[in-house]
């Protein structure tokens, strides 16, 4: 696969535009396995949980939402929190930021927890990425933030 040249396309500053991602969502049928993985292996703190529906984790800047995709396709029925139905099928992807030396530490940590490393390489711009999967099959990556430096 050939990697195309990246270039920033500047937004039209005459209207509002997002400046950060506040939360990201992944989907898992087995929320207990997901919670165990994200607390034990990834070291994240649980901040909310609804049995059979979701478990939410706090990161330094942002929230990781892990939903049961079958439960989030059902309307909540709560008029005070009218969140639209949603869900996804198949594995998703999420990338965590880390320095190169932290990626080395993560590789060792994942290996100690018997988490297979699917890929580890340097991108054409020199940024390092490490790929593995959570128990639901979601593709997780740990990469140097300069991966997306323009």
Q: Please report whether residue 13 resides in a domain.
A: no
pTM here is 0.90
In this prediction, residue 9 has a pLDDT band, given cuts at 50, 70 and 90, of confident
Q: Which two tokens stand for residue 65?
A: 């939402």
Q: How do the residues of the chain divide into helix, strand and coil, expressed in percent and rounded to 5?
A: 20, 30, 50
pLDDT value for 76 = 85
Select from 2, 10, 1 the least CA-distant residue to 150.
10
CATH number, position 29: 3.10.180.10
Beta-strand pair 54-59/62-67 = antiparallel
C-alpha–C-alpha distance, residues 146 and 139, integer Å: 20
Higher pLDDT pick, 118 / 19: 118
Q: Are 65 and 106 within one domain?
A: no
The whole-number average pLDDT for the span 75-85 is 90
Largest CA-CA distance found in the chain, in angstroms, rounded: 50
Which residues of the chain form beta strands (DSSP E)? Answer: 23-27, 45-50, 54-59, 62-67, 93-97, 119-122, 128-133, 139-143
Evaluate if residue 36 carries a pLDDT over 90. Answer: yes
What pLDDT digit, counting tens, does each position of 39-79 carry?
999 999 999 999 999 999 999 989 999 999 999 999 988 89
Q: Are 118 and 63 within one domain?
A: no
φ, ψ for residue 56, nearest 5 deg: -115, 145
Find residue 130's DSSP bridge partners.
Answer: 120, 142
Q: Are 122 and 97 within one domain?
A: yes
Higher pLDDT pick, 77 / 131: 131
HSE toward the beta carbon, residue 12, CA cutoff 13 A: 2
Q: Please report whether residue 82 resides in a domain.
A: no
Residue 49: CB partners within 8 Å, gap ≥ 6? 31, 35, 55, 56
Evaluate if residue 3 carries a pLDDT over 60. Answer: no
Q: Which domain range does residue 64 map to?
A: 21-76
What total number of domains does the chain contain?
Answer: 2
């Amino acid at each position: 696969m050939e990697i195309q040249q990246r270039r920033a396309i500047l937004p039209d500053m005459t209207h509002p535009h997002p400046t950060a991602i506040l939360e990201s969502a992944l989907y898992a049928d087995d929320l207990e396995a997901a919670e165990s993985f994200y607390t034990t292996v990834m070291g994240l703190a649980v901040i909310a949980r609804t049995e059979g529906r979701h478990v939410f984790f706090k990161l330094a800047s942002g929230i990781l939402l892990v939903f049961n995709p079958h439960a989030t396709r059902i309307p909540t029925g709560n008029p005070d929190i009218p969140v639209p139905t949603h869900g996804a099928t198949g594995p998703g992807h999420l990338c965590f930021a880390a320095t190169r030396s932290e990626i080395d530490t993560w590789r060792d940590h994942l290996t100690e927890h018997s988490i297979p490393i699917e890929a580890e390489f340097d991108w054409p711009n020199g940024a390092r990425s490490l790929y593995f999967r959570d128990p639901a099959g979601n593709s997780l990556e740990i990469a140097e933030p300069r991966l997306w430096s323009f």
